[in-house]
Structure formats: structure tokens, C-alpha cells
Chains A and B, each alone.
Chain A
Amino acid sequence: EVQLVESGGGLVQSGGSLRLSCAASGFSFSTYWVAWVRQAPGKGLEWVANIGQDGNELYYVDSAKGRFTIYRDNAKSSLYLQMNSLRVEDTALYYCVTDQRGAFDYWGQGTLVTVSS
């Protein structure tokens, strides 16, 4: 069974940093693209970033460029999102997802990031 378990969310002040983690199991992690998708409270979905199998291909939504870094450790079957210079508008539930050529087929339960002013 595919499992994606996020952690690392919490309350942080504007301008602060957080590192999100996602522990994957039940599939061959190193052969999958993976991504982060977020959802602000009561709002819709927004793709944040994705990363290729070997970690060399990285893509970000414009609002994350220069502030967020996605990376992975295939030996640990883990995905990360380092978030710096956090803004109030980054407040959201952050989901770790598998990326099947662009469609997100497996989702974790999410970790909540709250940025206060």
C-alpha cells in the first residue's frame, strides 16, 4: 500500500523558515517523480514544486522560486521542502504527492503550515 506521511508543519512568523518532510513507503520511491501541492484554508489547490527521480529536474511555481527548495533522499525514500522567507500567504495544508507524468495519483494527509504576521 502506498503511503505518504508528511511532517514538519507548524506555526512560524513571517520571514521565518520551515522544513517539511515526507516519508514514502509501499512503492519504489526512487522511480517516481514527486511533488508538493498546497491548499490554503477553505481554498483550492495549488501546485508548489516537483522533482524528478534523481533529483536533477526541479520545477517551482513562481511564488516559490528563490524561497523554497525541493529535494529528495532516495536512500531514505523521503521528500523535503525547505521553505524560507515565509509569508502569510504561504499558510496552507501542504500535501506530498506522487507525480505520474503530471497527474497526482497518490496523496498524503498533509501537514499544516501557519505563517503569522
Chain B
Amino acid sequence: EIVLTQSPGTLSLSPGEGATLSCRASQSVSGNHLAWYQQKPGQAPRLLIHDTSNRATGIPDRFSGSGSRTDFTLTINRLEPEDFAVYYCQQYGSLPRTFGQGTKVEIK
């Protein structure tokens, strides 16, 4: 099973700042099949990025993904008030599909 470790656990930032979230895999993610999700309190998660760097439908271009093999990054440029949420990475290169434990982006 691939274990995904996200860091930091919490990121305290102000609107307008940039955010860099990390997701490290315990072994190489096949095909770089890695996704990122955003979850706000009381809501279901929303797919942001799939296949490491492809934005899902309707996702603004301030969200970008990068990385390969075991190290992946979600970058959010110029945080908007609606971007403060919890972010999860997920690998789907092998079974079982696994998620990271999440990074909370909070308002400083």
C-alpha cells in the first residue's frame, strides 16, 4: 500500500499570498496518477487536479500541480477567501487507492 504524507499539517496564510502544499509517497506512484481535492467544512470534497498537473473542469488557473514519482506539489497562487480549506492528495496508480492525511490552509 502506498502511504501518502502531506506537509505541512496546517498552513497559516493571508489572502493574496501563495501556498505550496507537499505530498510525498512511500513508493513511486505509477503513471504519476495523483490527484488533489479541496474540502470545505460541511461539504463533500471537490476534485482540483488529476494526473499530477491537469486541472479538473471549472478549476481556476491559480491552482496548479506538479511533481513525479514520490514528490508532488499543489501550488495556489494569490489565495482567495474561498480557498481556505483542507486539501488532500490521492494516488490511483495502484490498489488500494490511498489519500494523504490532509493539509489545512487557514487564514492568518
Contacts and interface: CB of A to CB of B under 8 A. Distances in A.
A103 B50 contact: yes
Given A101-B92, A103-B35, A104-B35, A47 B97 contact: yes
Interface of A: 44-47, 50, 59, 61-62, 95, 100-105, 107-110
B100 A107 contact: no
A47 B101 contact: no
30 contacts: A44-B99, A44-B100, A45-B37, A45-B88, A46-B99, A47-B90, A47-B97, A47-B98, A50-B97, A59-B95, A100-B50, A101-B92, A102-B35, A102-B92, A102-B97, A103-B33, A103-B47, A103-B50, A103-B51, A103-B56, A103-B90, A103-B92, A104-B35, A104-B37, A104-B47, A105-B57, A107-B44, A107-B46, A109-B44, A110-B44
B60 interface: no
B8 interface: no
Contacts of A104: 35, 37, 45, 47, 90
A107 B45 contact: yes
B62 to A, nearest CB: 20
Contacts of B35: 102-104
Contacts, number: 54
Contact of B96 (A45, A47, A95, A103): A47
A109 B43 CA distance: 7
B85 to A, nearest CB: 13
B47 A62 contact: no
Contacts of A100: 50
Given A61-B96, A104-B35, A45 B46 contact: no
A44 B97 contact: no
Given A45-B99, A47-B98, A108-B44, 13 more contacts: A95-B45, A100-B50, A101-B33, A102-B97, A103-B35, A103-B90, A103-B92, A104-B35, A104-B37, A105-B50, A105-B56, A107-B44, A110-B44
